[in-house]
């Protein structure tokens, strides 16, 4: 029963994060909103940071990613936010996973 349940949740999380990334990738969405959505779905932070890193790496005469351009905003997102979001996401999903391992899910706890 649990592998099927994990597969269903994994599919929902994947498509939910894809939809969330689709909503925040437009120019004009505030950085605070992008960070908030990234806290729920860390894959959104990965997508936003990859776009910024590719802009930095492949611009004409680009110096590459270094300490000086981690905080340069591009499309209302800074690469430094990715690292904070990944630390947050690791601990959040670890706690949720340990909770489900211990109690079996919300239905059995309820």
Q: Supply the DSSP string of the chain, one letter for each residue.
A: -HHHHHHHHHHHHHHHHHHHHHHH-STT--HHHHHHHHHH-HHHHHHHHHHHHHHHHHSTT---S-TTSTT--SSS--THHHHHHHHHHHHHHHHHHHHHHHH--HHHH-
Contact 73, 48 (CB under 8 A): no
In the prediction, which pLDDT does 107 show?
64
> What CA–CA distance (Å, rounded) separates 63 from 56?
7
Delimit the domains of the chain by residue range: 2-109
Tens digits of residue pLDDT in 55-97: 888 876 767 788 888 888 888 899 999 999 999 989 988 888 7
Residue 62 neighbours by CB distance under 10 Å: 12
pTM of the model: 0.75
What mean pLDDT comes out for the span 4-21?
A: 83
In the prediction, which pLDDT does 84 show?
94
What Rg do the C-alpha atoms of the chain give, in angstroms? 17
Tens digits of residue pLDDT in 19-37: 999 999 888 899 999 999 9
């Amino acid at each position: 029963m649990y592998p099927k349940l994990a597969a269903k949740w994994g599919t929902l999380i994947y498509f939910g994060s894809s939809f969330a990334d689709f909503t925040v990738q437009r120019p004009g969405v505030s950085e605070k909103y992008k960070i908030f959505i990234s806290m729920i779905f860390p894959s959104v932070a990965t997508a936003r940071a990859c776009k910024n890193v590719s802009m930095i790496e492949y611009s004409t005469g680009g110096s590459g990613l270094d300490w000086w351009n981690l905080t340069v905003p591009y499309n209302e997102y800074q690469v430094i936010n990715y690292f904070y979001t990944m630390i947050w996401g690791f601990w959040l999903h670890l706690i949720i996973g340990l909770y489900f391992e211990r109690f079996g899910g919300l239905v059995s706890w309820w």
